[in-house]
Amino acid sequence: MHDFMKIEINTFAVLKEHFPSSFELEVNNIYTIAELKNELCKISPSASAMLNSSRFAVNEIFVNDSTIVSEHASVFIVPPSSGG
């Protein structure tokens, strides 16, 4: 077992002002969406409010805070919609 793993983070819209649109993050082996959210808030505190009102998706399925992120997962952070 590895102690660390890499996951891919994808961001959209206003979140791209805080993070690259796609980047890799090295994280602990057992890692939940809630922990990922906390980590991203630490990296960019000014993005906290937007991160907390965003939905997270893995493999085109929305997931919740307790979902465990697996190695090489592609996580999409989806801010509130503003289309139309």
Partner 1 sequence: MRPSLSFPHPAVDDSKTITDQPIDTVLLLQQAHHPNAGGIVLFSGEVRNHNGGKPVLYLEYEAYVPMAEKIIQEIVQAAIQKWDLYYAAAVHRIGKLEISESAVVVVTSHSHRKEAYEANQYIIDGIKHEAPIWKCEHYTDGTYVWGKNCH
Using alpha carbons, list the distances in angstroms from residue 65 to 1, 3, 20. Answer: 24, 21, 22
Binder of partner 1 out of 27, 48, 74, 79 (CB under 8 A): 79
DSSP annotation of 34 reads H
Q: How many residues bind partner 1 (CB under 8 A)?
A: 15
CB of 80 to partner 1, least distance (A): 5
CB of 54 to partner 1, least distance (A): 10
Site residues (CB under 8 A) for partner 1, limited to 8-67: 12-14, 17, 55, 57, 60
| Among the listed residues 52, 39, 45, 46, the one whose alpha carbon sits nearest the alpha carbon of residue 79 | 52
Positions touching partner 1 (CB under 8 A) are: 12-14, 17, 55, 57, 60, 76, 78-84
